[in-house]
């Protein structure tokens, strides 16, 4: 609004100067008004081309404005000529590249000095003031441009951050679904394949039915775990100690111990511990049937550690079932969080150790 007010004020001053000249007559005043109305769109075009960074066209339009000022001075319209010269000097210093702005501003203000009838001290003060005004406007324009660039960069960074967060959340959902399905389906596969082997070996009906019922139970547990995973994604996690107690309580000959000062964990860390515990107990059922399992959750100062150790036992009827991706998936989950996972035989049986930073 301020810029438009200044433009309208300058236009009104030019028109008043054109019609206030008595020595040129009506037709001369009308011609001067026509020249002023020509200078207005040329000035607007100059501003537009500077926004588009078209230097040659901007210089050409500036030359047209200076020619109008010279013509106005030659025909006795000194007032409009002085206003146009001052406007050209200020606008050139504000809008043009510095290398082109200095000579154009020098020409415009030199023309002003030649056209004015003021004493030299007043003329010098006016020229210095116009140059200073143009330079201040230039600094303001550069500051505003810099602020706009920073704002655009900030918006781009926020958009990238939001996209990254969305991708991370998708990856987390994919890991949860994969881990739940892998755990549940792997356990079902163990029992179903065992049932198939029993059928092939001519086992009695009760043993076959026992495996089928166990597979159905695993399917029911998988559905429950899927619901738990969805609840976890919504931030509705049950306490980790209660989860491990329920999980270990479903296994024969298993016990759980919690050491250290208990404290809440992030959803990602808590889910990592839950999935590793599930996968480790599934492996015990597959590869060490009848083994005694000890689960220890250790809260430390900088990390939380989960230890799952079995005492060793006989491989299940399908000890080699599954694709062998359980340990790999657990290790990838731990490394994604900056933790580690060690799995291997010990003096008794097999041990899995997960460490997650908190």
pLDDT digits (tens, 9 = 90+) for 191-216: 888 888 888 888 888 888 888 888 88
Task: Identify the pLDDT of residue 147.
Answer: 93
Say what the pLDDT of residue 68 is.
85
pLDDT of residue 134: 86
pLDDT score recorded for residue 328: 75
**pLDDT at residue 321, rounded to an integer:** 41
User: What is the per-residue pLDDT across 41-73, written as a single tens digit (0 to 9) for each?
Assistant: 888 888 889 888 888 999 999 899 888 888 888
Hey, which residues does 257 pair with through a beta bridge?
296
Cα 333 to Cα 273: distance, rounded to the nearest angstrom:
10
Residue 306, phi then psi, degrees to nearest 5 = -120, 125
Lowest mean pLDDT among 15-24, 150-159, 260-269: 15-24
Report pLDDT for 234.
63
Residue 320 pLDDT: 42
Domain residue spans of the chain: 2-117, 159-357
The tens digit of pLDDT for each residue in 160-189 reads 988 887 787 677 677 767 767 776 777 788
Residue 211 near residue 195, CB atoms below 8 Å: yes
Please list, in sequence order, all residues whose beta carbon lies within 8 angstroms of the beta carbon of residue 281, skipping any fewer than 6 positions away. Answer: 247, 248, 251, 254, 293, 308
CATH class of 159-357: alpha beta
Helices within the chain (DSSP H only): 2-19, 25-51, 55-74, 78-95, 98-115, 120-200, 205-233, 240-249, 267-287, 326-336
Average model confidence (pLDDT) for the chain? 80
Q: What is the pLDDT of residues 84-125, one digit of tens each?
A: 888 888 888 888 898 898 999 999 889 888 888 888 888 889
**pLDDT for 287-339, tens place per residue?**
777 778 888 999 988 899 999 888 776 655 444 444 344 677 778 878 888 88
The pLDDT of residue 17: 65
Long-range contacts of 267-272, Cβ-Cβ distance < 8 Å, separation of 24 or more? 267/232, 267/235, 267/237, 268/172, 268/337, 269/304, 269/337, 269/356, 269/357, 269/358, 270/232, 270/237, 270/240, 271/176, 271/229, 271/232, 271/237, 272/333, 272/334, 272/337, 272/339, 272/354, 272/356
* Confidence at 19, pLDDT banded by 50, 70, 90: low
Write down the pLDDT at residue 69. Answer: 85
């Amino acid at each position: 609004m301020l810029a438009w007010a200044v433009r309208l004020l300058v236009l009104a001053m030019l028109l008043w100067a054109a019609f206030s000249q008595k020595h040129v007559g009506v037709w001369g005043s009308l011609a001067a008004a026509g020249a002023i109305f020509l200078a207005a769109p040329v000035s607007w075009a100059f501003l537009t081309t500077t926004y588009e960074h078209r230097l040659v066209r901007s210089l050409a339009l500036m030359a047209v404005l200076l020619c109008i000022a010279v013509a106005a001075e030659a025909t006795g319209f000194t007032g409009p000529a002085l206003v146009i010269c001052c406007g050209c000097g200020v606008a050139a210093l504000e809008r043009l590249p510095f290398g082109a702005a200095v000579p154009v501003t020098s020409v415009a203000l030199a023309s002003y000095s030649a056209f004015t009838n003021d004493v030299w001290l007043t003329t010098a003060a006016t020229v210095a003031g116009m140059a200073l005004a143009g330079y201040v406007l230039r600094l303001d324009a550069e500051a505003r441009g810099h602020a706009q660039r920073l704002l655009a960069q900030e918006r781009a960074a926020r958009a990238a951050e939001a996209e990254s967060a969305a991708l991370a959340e998708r990856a987390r959902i994919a890991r949860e679904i994969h881990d739940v399905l892998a755990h549940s389906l792997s356990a079902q596969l163990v029992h179903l394949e065992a049932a198939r082997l029993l059928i092939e070996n001519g086992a009695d009906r009760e043993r076959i039915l026992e495996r089928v019922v166990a597979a159905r139970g695993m399917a029911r547990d998988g559905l429950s775990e899927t619901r738990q995973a969805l609840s976890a994604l919504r931030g509705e996690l049950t306490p980790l100690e209660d989860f491990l107690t329920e999980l270990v309580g479903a296994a024969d000959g298993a016990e759980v111990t919690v050491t250290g000062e208990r404290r809440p964990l992030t959803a990602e860390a808590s889910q990592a511990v839950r999935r590793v515990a599930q996968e480790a107990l599934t492996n015990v059922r597959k590869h060490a049937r009848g083994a005694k399992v000890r689960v220890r959750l250790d809260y430390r100062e900088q990390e939380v550690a989960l230890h799952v150790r079995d005492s060793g036992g006989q491989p299940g009827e399908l000890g080699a079932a599954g694709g062998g991706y359980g340990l790999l998936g657990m290790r990838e989950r731990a490394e994604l969080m900056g933790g580690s996972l060690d799995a291997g035989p010990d003096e008794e049986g097999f041990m899995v150790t997960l460490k997650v930073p908190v």
